[in-house]
Amino acid sequence: MPNFALFLATSLAITFAPGPDNLQVLARGISQGRAAGLVSALGFAAGVTFHTTLAALGIAALLRSSPLAFQILKLAGAAYLIWIGVKALRSQGLASAGDRPRQPLSTIFRQSVLGNVMNPKVTLFFVVFLPQFVDTHGAQSGAQSVTLQMLELGVVFMLQTVVVFSIFGLCAGTIGGWLKRRPRAGVWLDRLAGLTFIAIGMRIALRD
């Protein structure tokens, strides 16, 4: 996978960008302590495996049936990345993470996993995001190799999500206080993520 470094950098930008998942991790950590934030982070990361598996199997089937359709999907994915980049540029920043009632850690983990798994937008994101970094030209066994590459990329995405979200959970109090003192910080984080998405989308659209 020649674009692995680019994939990792983009994944980190996506994970650090303000969104409902990392805001919930922050909220759990602020309201219930580091353990709750860490468990919430692990739950959201675990949900990634579900979406990765669906995307890998679906894309492999598509490549097997129609290589042209696969290329069309890649262009659609590039357009999608540019679109979410524009949305991020227009964002007004982070929403405030409200207080939540204390709950058992097992309940927090279950809610985090289900919250991620039941979100169809996450599946759509992985369907259009992962294929952008798959090397179909170097694949020796066609769809099977694509499936393996996508599963590997999904594992990498999950692992970096665990690391980043765990930092959010463990440092929730400090991060939350910093964000409250600097409400414009979320705007600039969104703009950085937006520029990253647009640059990656344009690079993919113009690539042979």
The pLDDT tens digits of the residues spanning 10-57 come to 888 888 876 767 777 877 777 777 888 889 889 988 888 888 887 777
The number of domains in the chain is 1
Which residues lie below 8 Å from residue 159, measured CB to CB, with a gap of 6+? Answer: 45
Distance between CA atoms of 21 and 73, rounded to whole angstroms?
Answer: 26
How confident is the model over 60-72, as a mean pLDDT?
67
Radius of gyration of the chain (CA): 18
Tell me the per-residue pLDDT of 146-178, one tens digit each, with 9 for 90 and over: 778 888 888 899 899 889 988 888 887 676 666
State which residues form the domain around 62.
4-206
* DSSP structural state of residue 106: H
Contact 193, 10 (CB under 8 A): no
Taking the model in full, what pTM does it have? 0.67
